[in-house]
Structure formats: C-alpha cells, structure tokens
C-alpha cells in the first residue's frame, strides 16, 4: 500500500470518514474571503481580520515553513433530524447537532497526534507538522475542496456527494511530500436554492458567503452583546447554533443518522427544556456543559438565547421563569428576559 493509502486507512480507523491530501498553495477562494472581511460581514469576530492571520491564510508556509503537504480530514456528527423534540408540557429549544455531545476541540487533537505518530513511524523519522481543527488561520473548506472531499455549497458548507455536510474538519500541515488528490471541481448545487429560501434570517448571500451579522449561529454563539431587536423573533427556538440550511439540503439524505460515537448526544442537550435552562446557575451551567461546545456561549450568552426562545414560544407558562430571570446578576439576561415577557404578553393579547 502507498504511504497516502496507509495514512487514509489509519485516519478512517480513528473516525475520519473522509481524508484527502492537497498542497500548501494559495487558497482558491482567498479573494472571496478577503472581500467578505472588507465588507465587515464577520461582525464582531475581529480575530478573523488580524493582519497576521490574513497573511497566513494566503500561504500556509507562513505557519509551517517546512510544509509540503496538507492532510485534510472530516468526521461525521449526527443528523439533526435524528433528535426531533417529543411532546412536552414546557417549551423546548434546539441546539445545533455538532454540539450535542463532547467538544470536538477536545477530541480531535489526540486523534491528530496519533495520526502524526503513525506517519512518523511509516517514514522512519520525525516530520515537521502543525494541526488545526477550526483553530487556526487557514481556509478549511477551501483546502478540503482542493483535497477532493467535496464542494462548497451555496450555504457555505462543504458538501460531500456521498455523505452530505454533517461533518467536522481537521487539518495537518506536514513537512513531507505526499501525492495530492485531485480537487473536487464539480458544483452539484445546480439551480437549487432550498438553503437560501429556508434561512430564517436571510443571511445567505449570492457569492456563497453569509452575512454573519444575521446568521443564527453567529448570533447565538459568537455575538457577545445584545441580539438586535429586529432579529430576535427570527431565531425561533434555536438556543445554540442553527442547522436549518443543512437540514433542507437534499444532499444530506446521504448523511449518517448517528455520526461518530465521540459526539453522541448528552441527555437533554439536543432539545432542552427552556424553563429549566433559564434556572441554570453559574455552577449548574458549568457542570452541565463541561467539555461541551455550548460553553463557548458562556452562561450569559446561553441564557440570553434561552430567554429569546421562550419569548418566541409565546407560552404563558414561561412568564414566571422569565420574571425570576429579571433578578439575574447579568444585565444582558435581564434585558432579554424583559423582551421575552413583553413578547409573550403581546401575543396573548392579540
């Protein structure tokens, strides 16, 4: 077996169902990303516009000078349709499927390190390397397309024709020559506009980028301040992330229903009871979401989202919990709870 074949086989044993190799050349869509930054569609994610990071995205060898090849990997997570909310007396929310289980940032590094050890054992010497999983200044989906893993869809997700788009990416920059895979050059989106039509906030743009400032995933995870009033009703019941544009994508009929066991859903995470969530103290929040992606929003951001979802539920049973939240030490939680109370009362009076 070739070295490339052996590496891909080992990657599959570690849970990466897709693996491909590309070169460290300039990313094909770098100019698109630069225009997106210049239009300030990245919102408050100022780290994306850092000058040093911008330079490194254009040349991975600024990250690893010895880089000769880049191994791109993907591991699947569960289809969000596999955990639809059951009938419950209290309103429930929705969490993006990638965040149902343990945080991939904690899971992938060990697997990537194991793969590096395997590569070094195969070649018989240490190999300069650097690995990332959504943590470094590289254009992951661009590299994945160039490594043959799929194409970048209209919803900006990487889509594989046999596995859909429910997977997480990781990359290893390597100081050895590997035979690159042919890039994925076919666009299988065609005339389909399901993701664009279904997006609750109309954040998907014609150039296959999104206006993050309107994206529910950005608003519920990355935004650290108040959610704009006019966007709150559009969040629906999403309290962490959003899967809408992927759920309507016809290519996800090929997605794995369960995904990698490492991301198995935790109890009450996919569709949490919103009234109970609003009662989470700093201690119970940290305990519930230890090693979970949800911790990225922090308690104040998560309960802000929960309050908005309760307001959108128009369920009068939520009033007491929201009134209790008016006494919370976090002003942002208090403000969104107040908005939710007004929204429910207004709906009840109409």
Q: How far apart are CA 204 and CA 194, in angstroms?
A: 11
Burial code (b: 16+ CB inside 10 Å, e: under 16) for 270-298 equals bbbbbbebbebeeeebeebbeebbbbbbb
Q: Cβ atoms within 10 A of the Cβ of 225, count?
A: 9
- The Cα–Cα gap between 92 and 270 comes to 10
Going from the C-alpha of 285 to that of each of 272, 279, 280, the distances in angstroms are 13, 9, 5
Task: Assess contact for 45 and 69: CB atoms under 8 A.
Answer: no
Q: What share of the chain is helix, strand, coil (3-state, %, to 5)?
A: 45, 10, 40
Cα–Cα distance between 163 and 302 in angstroms, integer? Answer: 31
Neighbouring residues of 117: CB distance < 8 A, sequence distance ≥ 6 = none
The residues annotated as belonging to the active site are: 134
Do 86 and 207 form a contact (C-beta atoms < 8 A)?
no
């Amino acid at each position: 077996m070739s070295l490339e074949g052996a590496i891909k086989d080992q990657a599959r044993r570690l849970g990466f169902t897709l693996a491909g190799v590309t070169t460290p050349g300039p990313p094909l869509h770098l100019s698109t990303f630069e225009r997106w930054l210049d239009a300030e569609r990245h919102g408050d994610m100022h780290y994306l516009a850092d000058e040093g990071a911008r330079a490194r995205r254009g040349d991975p060898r600024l990250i690893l000078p010895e880089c000769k090849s880049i191994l791109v990997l993907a591991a699947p997570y569960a289809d969000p349709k596999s955990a639809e909310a059951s009938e419950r007396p209290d309103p429930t929310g929705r969490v993006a499927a990638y965040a149902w289980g343990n945080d991939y940032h904690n899971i992938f590094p060990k697997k990537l390190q194991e793969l590096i050890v395997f590569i070094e054992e195969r070649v018989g010497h240490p190999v300069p390397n650097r690995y990332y999983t959504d943590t470094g200044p590289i254009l992951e989906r661009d590299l994945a397309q160039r490594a043959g893993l799929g194409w970048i869809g209209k919803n900006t997700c990487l889509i594989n024709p046999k596995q859909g788009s429910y997977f997480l990416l990781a990359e290893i920059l390597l100081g050895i020559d590997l035979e690159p895979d042919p890039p994925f050059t076919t666009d299988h989106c065609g005339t389909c506009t399901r993701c664009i039509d279904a997006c609750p906030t109309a954040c998907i743009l014609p150039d296959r980028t999104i206006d993050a400032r309107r994206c529910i995933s950005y608003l519920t995870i990355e935004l650290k301040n108040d959610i704009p009033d006019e966007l709150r009703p559009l969040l629906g019941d999403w309290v962490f992330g959003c899967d809408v544009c992927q759920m309507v994508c016809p290519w996800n009929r090929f997605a794995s229903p369960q995904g990698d066991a490492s991301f198995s859903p935790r109890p009450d995470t996919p569709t949490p009871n919103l009234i109970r969530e609003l009662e989470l103290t700093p201690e119970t929040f940290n305990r519930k979401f230890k090693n979970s992606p949800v911790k990225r929003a922090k308690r104040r951001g998560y309960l802000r989202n929960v309050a908005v979802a309760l307001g959108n539920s128009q369920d009068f049973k939520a009033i007491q919990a929201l009134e209790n939240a008016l006494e919370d030490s976090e002003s942002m939680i208090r403000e969104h709870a107040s908005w939710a109370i007004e929204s429910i009362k207004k709906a009840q009076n109409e």
